[in-house]
Amino acid sequence: MNVVILDDYQDAVRACGLLDKLRGHDVTIHRDTVKGVDALAGRLKDAEAIVLIRQRTELSEELLERLPRLRLISQTAGVGSHIPMEACTRRKIAVTAGAAGNPSTVELTWALILAAMRRIPAEMEGMKRGKWQVAPMGRIVHGKTLGVYALGKIGGRVAQLAKAFGMNIHAWGREATAERARAEGFEMAKNREAFFESCDIVSIHLPLNKATRGLVTLKDLARMKPDSLFVNTSRADIIEAGALVTALRAGRPGFAAVDVYEEEPVLGGQHPLLRMDNVVCTPHLGYASYETLKDYLGLAIDRVAAFAAGKPRDVVNPEALA
C-alpha cells in the first residue's frame, strides 16, 4: 500500500523503530504540517492509507473527495471531530483507532505546575544571561488548593498526585466527576463560581467537543485569585476565544501554564502568550513522549499492516468494509 504518515514533528516513527512494521509498503513520512485543502490534496493524492498523529491535521469531506485511492485512515488514540466519519463510511474509507491510557499528559501537567509555581523557566533564562535569582519568589504547592475541572482518566490521576504534595483538591464537572470525587475523598466545589474563586491552581482536563468548546469563559477566569495559576493541557478551544490573554493582562489569574493553542503548530513565536512573562508555554508535549508515541504510533501502524493483509482490526466504522 501507499502509506502516508502526517505531522511526525519529532521523527517518532524512525526514532521508535517502527518503520520495519511497514516493510514492503511504500511509506512517506512528513515531519511538518500543511494547511488547506489544496496543499493536503497534493501531499495525499496517491495515499491508500493515512496515519494521523492525534488531531494535528483535520481531514475535511472536501479533501476526501480529492483522494480517490484512499481506503484507510489509521488514527493514533481516539477519533475526534477532525475526521468526517459519515463521509468516510459513505466513501468506503475504513477508520481505525484506539489506544491504552498513558501517564504522559499527567506528568506534563505536573511539570508545568511546578515550573510555573517555582518560576523555573525565568530563572533559567536569567542564569543564561549571567544573572542570579532574577524572578519574583516562587511558591510551593504544599497546602495550596488544586482545582481539577473533570476527574476523568487524566484529571483523576492529576488529583491523586496532588495528595502526595499535601494539597487540597477541589473538583468541578458533571455527575461522573462528582461520583469520583465522593469515591476518592475529593471535595466537590459548591458551584462553578466557588470553584474558580477558591482554587490556587486550576487545571483543565476536558475533551474538546460541541459541549466543551468555549466552556471556560472570561468571567470564570476573572474570578480567580491575582496570584493563582491556570493550567491547560487539554485543548485551547475549551477556553472562550481570547479570554485567557485578556484575563492574564487584567491580572486574574496571575499566571498560566499552557501546552495547547488555537492553531498548531505555533511557528515564528507568533502567539500573544509567548510574549507574556507570567506564562509558561510548551509546544503540545502532553502526549509527545517516547513511550506514548511508540505505543500510539505502533498500534496505528499495526492496523495499517493488518488492513493490507486483509485482516482489518479496530475499525470504528465497520460499515465501510461492506
Q: What are the catalytic residues? A: 235, 264, 284
Dig out the grid coordinates for 54 from the structure.
492525534
Distance CA 231, CA 252 (A): 13
Grid cell 475541572 is found at 149
Helices (DSSP H) in the chain: which residue ranges?
Answer: 12-15, 37-44, 61-64, 85-90, 104-117, 120-128, 153-164, 175-184, 192-198, 218-222, 243-250, 290-308
Compute the chain's Rg from CA coordinates.
21
DSSP state of 132: S
SS3 label, residue 26: strand
Within 10 angstroms of residue 89's Cβ, the number of other Cβ atoms is 18
Q: Which residue type, as a one-letter code, is found at position 233?
A: T
- Helix, strand, coil shares of the chain as percentages rounded to 5? 40, 15, 45
Give yes or no for a contact between 319 and 92, defined as CB atoms under 8 angstroms apart.
no
Angle in degrees, CA 231, 236, 237, rounded to 5 = 135
Distance CA 148, CA 7 (A): 31
Give yes or no for a contact between 13 and 297, defined as CB atoms under 8 angstroms apart.
yes
Q: How far apart are the first and last CA of the chain?
A: 20
**Which of 298, 262, 268 is CA-nearest to residue 55?**
262
